[in-house]
Amino acid sequence: MASVPDFQHVVVAPPGVELVLGQLNAAGVEANLMVEMRELGRACARKAARERSGDPTGEVMYSELGAPIWAGGTVETYISISRAGQCAMGAASHSRIGVDIEFTDRDVSRLLKTFTPVEREVSQVVNPIALLCAKEAAGKSAGVGLAGSILRWSVISSAADAKSLLVRDLESGNQWRVWIGEIGVGDRSLQCAVALGTEPVGNDLLEIYESAQVEIRPRGSQVWQGGSQAVRERALSGVVITAWNPGLDRPSIEENNHANELLLKRLETYCSDIWEADGFSPDQTHREPGFIAWELKPEIGLQIAREFGQLAIFYFEASGNRVLLSV
């Protein structure tokens, strides 16, 4: 006899996202379990899409690549499906969306070996399985899944309340805000991740970088110096980098300061001579603190910038000439 599913609406993501969790409440016929789970996922997505759109028509279909799509409705709606054990979740939104669920007690010891230094820091705040779910959800939102490599997706920051992560596709440079949360299922818990894409970073931000002014000072000093002048006086090259405001994301001051603390620790693994840096707009209405790492190789600076979701870094040649390097 086929299992009879239970459904519940859950809240993890912000308003505008509908999530429906389904669970088989009986063992079912083992030979048909895979079919039942596929149908359960479709049922969850159907309920979520109809609730989000307010339209009772429409149905779950699959693209040539096997991705679920919502077809036939009168309101444009995007869906995503994930399954774990005898649980399935359907997500629906009016913008591209990705969802992933995993049981929190899953063994992820092998996964930890693939984490970047930033991801290891984040995993001290949230369950490591949340990082895996966040990457999977971002990949689904992008329409490519993990694309054959978990290393393509990088968690670059965590919100101060640990309720969301910022994930970057290292291939395209696009970023996703991923909301995470745990859901009780009997005596176990499901980790849930829901990804919504940001707008791709464009040339307008590079133009902002180009126009920025940079001042630097030794840590602990109260006196700022013009970047090019100070570099010429020391006759040393340096990389200027910040962890503030990755891409189009705008975290709180507390989150930005924490990100800069992690950045400093990362830089110190490569360089012992590090000063403070301050980049600001010509009218001085916008400032982003960071650091200059003296004699750091620019390729290392770019690698670290990618880890923190930055669009570009400044490289000062020993002559004082400033070069903008895009990641």
Residue-wise pLDDT for 156-200, tens only, equals: 878 767 888 888 888 877 888 899 999 999 899 999 999 986 544
Q: Rg (Cα) of the chain, in Å, rounded?
A: 23
Give the percent of the chain with pLDDT over 70.
91
Please tell me the total number of residues recorded for the chain in this structure: 327
Q: How many other CB atoms are there within 10 angstroms of residue 66's CB atom?
A: 7
Check: CB of residue 18 under 8 Å from CB of residue 91: yes
Separation between Cα atoms, residue 293 and residue 80, nearest integer Å: 43
* Both structure tokens of 112: 């930890």
- Out of 171-175, 255-259, 265-269, pick the least confident: 171-175
Residues of the chain by 3-state class (helix, strand, coil), percent to 5: 30, 35, 35
- What is the DSSP-derived secondary structure letter of residue 204? H
pLDDT tens digit sequence for 210-248: 778 999 999 999 999 999 999 999 999 999 999 998 866
pLDDT of residue 77: 92
Q: How many other CB atoms are there within 10 angstroms of residue 205's CB atom?
A: 15
Parallel, antiparallel, or unpaired: how do β-strands 322-326 and 59-62 relate? unpaired
Give the fold, CATH level 3, of 5-197. Answer: Ribosomal Protein L22; Chain A (3.90.470)
* Residue 232 CB contacts under 8 Å (≥ 6 apart), including other chains: 318, 319, 320
pLDDT of residue 285: 74
Average pLDDT, the chain: 87
Within 117-170, residue ranges assigned H as helices are: 117-122, 128-142
Check: CB of residue 120 under 8 Å from CB of residue 206: no
* Residue 73 CB contacts under 8 Å (≥ 6 apart), including other chains: 49, 53, 55, 57, 58
Neighbouring-strand partners of residue 257:
none
Check: CB of residue 99 under 8 Å from CB of residue 140: yes
* Rounded alpha-carbon distances, angstroms, from residue 185 to 42, 84, 191, 217: 20, 11, 10, 54
Check: CB of residue 326 under 8 Å from CB of residue 304: no
Check: CB of residue 195 under 8 Å from CB of residue 17: no
pLDDT tens digit sequence for 96-142: 999 999 999 998 888 888 888 888 888 888 999 999 999 999 999 98
* Rounded alpha-carbon distances, angstroms, from residue 57 to 70, 72, 76, 211: 10, 7, 12, 51
Neighbouring-strand partners of residue 61:
69
pLDDT of residue 201: 47
Q: Where are the beta strands (DSSP E) in the chain?
A: 5-10, 17-24, 59-62, 68-71, 78-84, 87-93, 97-103, 153-158, 164-169, 175-185, 188-197, 213-217, 225-226, 238-241, 274-280, 287-294, 312-316, 322-326
Where is mean pLDDT largest: 69-73, 135-139, 157-161, 201-205?
135-139
pLDDT of residue 147: 62
Domain ranges of the chain: 5-197, 203-326
Separation between Cα atoms, residue 248 and residue 61, nearest integer Å: 33
